[in-house]
Structure 1
Amino acid sequence: MQIQGLHHAQITIPKGREQEGRQFYCELLGLEEMEKPEALKGRGGFWLHAGNLQVHVGTEDGDARSATKAHLAYEVTGLEAWKETLRAQGLVPEESVPVPGMERFEFRDPFGNRVELLEVTEDPSL
């Protein structure tokens, strides 16, 4: 008996704002939407491919997203270009505490979720 890996992570956005969520996560960040199982479609939200992980975007009321450190960290290339793209959309990239072997920053998505983008600068196996 053992954990095999991480299958998916879930974030939430306010109910009824799925189209805005798709614009941000699919169009701006470039994540690919995937089909949700028929049994779950009535719950709202949508699912995304993020490399070998799924991101499930659920819906719920409330504003706790803006007050938490909970987040997803996406590994990217072109970190500086990402900063400029986000700034052009009115989002505010904030520098993160330095971690050896990577450059990174964080920001809040339009719904208050904390998002981290990071680029590996050294081979972590060395």
Structure 2
Amino acid sequence: MGCFYSSINQINTENVLNSIDVLYLTQSWNIIKTHNLQKFAQDVLIKTTNQSPSLRQFWISKIQVEGNNYDYSQSESCLKTDVSWHIGLRKYSIQLISILDKLISIITNENHVKKDIQSLDLSENIFLIEYESFM
């Protein structure tokens, strides 16, 4: 039984941010960037995930490894062990933060948020992790 990443297609981009939100977001992000994005990605994001059962379940369902099937009857499967998904999240969190950094850097005001999100051209397999990365 494989995992699904259909939730990425259900992101509502209407009225996401107002001008004050954009200002606070960019100011906060600039502070984080000056201190070390990798540390933020690996420490803060991982700790938040560990403390939030719903966020933890989200990541467990999103991180997938091709060829991780014991019966080889499916083309993909979920990683369900704590160690596997945690290792994947640590590596993948840096990629996620890079995408977030790109998104924040192109947001100029609340009217551009929807267009800017679409301009990132995020593919449906954004949450897939290759099997070889765990070898």
Q: TM-score, normalised by structure 1?
A: 0.28
Rg larger in 1 or in 2?
A: 2
Instruction: Choose between structure 1 and 2: higher strand proportion.
Output: 1
Q: Which has the higher contact order (CA 8 A, sep 6+)?
A: 2
Instruction: Choose between structure 1 and 2: higher helix proportion.
Output: 2
